[in-house]
Structure 1
Amino acid sequence: MDFSIASILALDGVTNGAVYALLALATVLVFAVTRVIFIPQGEYVAFGALTLALLQQGQVPGTVWFLLVLAGCAAVADVADGLKHHQSLSRIARRVTGSTVYPVLISLVAIWAAPQKFPLLVQAALTLALVTPFGGLLYRLAYQSLADASVLVLLIVSVGVHFALTGLGLLFFGAEGFRNPSFWDERFSAGPLTFSGQTLIIMLASVALIVALWLFFERSLYGKALRATAVNRLGARLMGISSESAGKLTFTLAAFIGALSGLLIGPTTTVFYDSGFLIGLKGFVAAVFGGLASYPMALVGAIGVGLLESFGSFWASAFKEVIVFSAIVPVLLWRSLRDPHAEEH
């Protein structure tokens, strides 16, 4: 291996690492606020990429029908919960309206817009608008009633949600894979490196989103509320911060990050209905580098995962996944020796 090959592999690793960094951030965020190890994070990636692919073909994506079904289920759950706790009809109506209005409106927009074949950027924005509500709806249906359960129970639920979303992905998108067009087709040269405009977009979008998240958590009231919930759930409740609202907002942010990652990675590889699992798992490995708590270490871990994958595919392409996932073993061992865990009560 000479310097030029190493440079090309490093660029490829950093590019993939930028996407894994976004997924790692979402994983850390969800776990910090809700204690949920969110295995289905990669499903948002697949849903984002495949939704855009079907919009490119002028078809109404299955995401629309899935979103309407989830909104209907959430409305039924809100009514049942309101009647159980003897809430007023006006309050129940407000909750049902909050769960259904946006999904119904954006679904109607998507049904109208799909045959129009709008420009790529418009379709990308519509994709984000369709996939992002999945986060809050999934939290409402699968996790809200279990908010105080143990981490193990929440993990088991996450595994079940992952299998459900994978099966529904096959139902709504089919077994055929799709590769989306690049957002920028230009090519640039810098010494031995030749990189595409899509590579630049991936890196710039990742950096921009990371900065936006930092500003959100540091400067906005909602961001500070999420930070408070992550530090001390009971203390946040005593200060009037709704853990239910914090959970919904956290899952909504995770869905947005996953959908954006799907848009970024879609032009670089063929995405199938089940491709999100491996992609999300690499983001999880990166999050483990940070102990599911440190955002900077998760970023470092994501770049490391990207480089391991890139160089591993060069030296032993058949074992690149094994190399990446094996890297988690020494990290877990080191963390276990350094921070002996206490039994959860």
Structure 2
Amino acid sequence: MDFSIAGILAIDGLTNGAVYALLALATVLLFAVTRVIFIPQGEFVAFGALTLAIMQTGRVPGTVWFLLVLAGAAAISDIYEGVKHGHPVARIGKQVARTLSVPVLVSLVAIWAAPRGFPLVVQAVLALALVTPFGTLIYRLAYERLASASVLVLLIVSVGVHFALVGLGLFFFGAEGFRNPSFWDARFSAGAVALSGQALIIFLASIALIVLLWLYFERTLSGKALRATAVNRVGARLMGISSNSAGRLAFTMAAFIGALSGLLIGPTTTIFFDSGFIIGLKGFVAAVFAGLSSYPLAMVGALLVGLLESFGSFWASAFKEVIVFSSILPVLLWRSLRDPHGEEH
């Protein structure tokens, strides 16, 4: 291996690592706020990329109908809870309207816009708008009532949600893979190393989102409320911070990050209905490097995963996934020896 090949592999690894960093941040955020190890994080990636791909063909993506079904189920839940607690009809109606307003509006816009062949950027924004509400709705329907359950129960629910989303992905998008067009076709060369415009967009978008997340958690009231919930759920609740609202917001942010990651990685690799699992799992490996608690370490771990995958594919392409996922074992062993836990009672 000479310097030029090493440079190409490093660029490729860092490009993938930037996407894994976003997924790792979302995984750490969800676990810190809700204690949910969210296995289906990668499904947001696949849904984002494939929704854009279907819109590129001029058809209405199946995510539109899925969003409406989820919103309808959440509205029925609102009605049930309102009647159960004896709330006035006007209050129930307002809650139902809040639940349905965004999904219905976004779906109607998507149904109108899909056949009209708008520019790629417009379709990408619309794909983001379609996938992002899934976070809140999935949390409400699958996790909110189990907020006080054990981590194991929440993990089992995550496995069920994962299989449901993969099956729905096959139904909505089919078994055929899609590769989206690049957002920027320029190429930049430095000696033997070339950097594509799409890779530059991935770097810039990842850095911008990480900075925005830092500003959000440091400078905004709702961001500080999320941090407080992550540090101490009971204490945050005593201070008037709703754990349900924090969970909904965290899942919404995770869905947005996942969908954006799908749009970024879509032009660099072919995405299938089940591709999100492997992509999300690599983000989870990076999050485990950080102990599911540290955002900076999650970013570092994600870049290491990307580099390990890139160089591993060069030396042993058939075993690159094995190399990446095996790297978690020494980390788990080290954390187990460093912070042993006794049996729970």
**1:250, CA displacement in angstroms?**
0.3
Deviates more, 1:302-311 or 1:75-84: 75-84
Letter in 2 for 1:116: R
**1:99, CA displacement in angstroms?**
1.2
Deviations 1:66-103 (A, max 9, x none): 00000000111111122222222222222211111110
Corresponding residue of 1:15: 15
Corresponding residue of 2:282: 282
Deviations 1:320-339 (A, max 9, x none): 00000000000000001111
Corresponding residue of 1:191: 191
* Poorly superposed stretches of 4+, deviation over 6 Å: none
Corresponding residue of 1:247: 247
Alignment partners' CA distance in 2, 1:287 and 1:342: 23
Corresponding residue of 1:35: 35
Give yes or no for the alignment of 1:204 onto 2:187: no
Letter in 2 for 1:170: L
Alignment partners' CA distance in 2, 1:144 and 1:119: 38
Which residues in structure 2 correspond to 1:203-242 (within 5 Å)?
203-242=203-242
Alignment partners' CA distance in 1, 2:283 and 2:117: 32
2:194 match: secondary structure = strand
Corresponding residue of 1:108: 108
Deviations 1:147-199 (A, max 9, x none): 00000000000000000000000111111110000000001101221111000
Alignment partners' CA distance in 1, 2:163 and 2:263: 22
Corresponding residue of 1:125: 125
Q: TM-score, normalised by structure 1?
A: 0.99
Corresponding residue of 1:52: 52
Alignment partners' CA distance in 1, 2:203 and 2:181: 17
Alignment partners' CA distance in 2, 1:286 and 1:344: 26
Alignment partners' CA distance in 2, 1:92 and 1:5: 62
Alignment partners' CA distance in 1, 2:143 and 2:95: 17
Q: Assess, with a 3 A threshold, how the Cα gap between structure 1 residues 192 and 19 changes in structure 2: closer, same or farther.
A: same
Alignment partners' CA distance in 2, 1:124 and 1:149: 37
Corresponding residue of 1:95: 95
Deviations 1:101-150 (A, max 9, x none): 11001000000000111001000110111100000000000000000000
Return 5+ residue gaps in structure 2 as ranges. Answer: none
Alignment partners' CA distance in 2, 1:133 and 1:13: 31
Deviates more, 1:161-170 or 1:91-100: 91-100
Corresponding residue of 1:26: 26
Corresponding residue of 1:152: 152
Letter in 1 for 2:137: L
Give yes or no for the alignment of 1:319 onto 2:308: no
Q: Assess, with a 3 A threshold, how the Cα gap between structure 1 residues 343 and 93 changes in structure 2: closer, same or farther.
A: farther
1:195 match: secondary structure = strand
Letter in 2 for 1:190: A
Q: Assess, with a 3 A threshold, how the Cα gap between structure 1 residues 2 and 134 changes in structure 2: closer, same or farther.
A: same
Alignment partners' CA distance in 1, 2:158 and 2:86: 30
1:272 match: secondary structure = coil
Question: What's the C-alpha RMSD, in Å, of the aligned pairs?
Answer: 0.9
Q: Assess, with a 3 A threshold, how the Cα gap between structure 1 residues 342 and 106 changes in structure 2: closer, same or farther.
A: farther
1:157 match: secondary structure = helix
Letter in 1 for 2:48: G
Letter in 2 for 1:77: S
Alignment partners' CA distance in 2, 1:95 and 1:163: 30
**Aligned sequence identity (%):** 79
**1:342, CA displacement in angstroms?**
4.8
Letter in 2 for 1:228: A
Corresponding residue of 1:75: 75
**1:343, CA displacement in angstroms?**
4.7
Corresponding residue of 2:162: 162
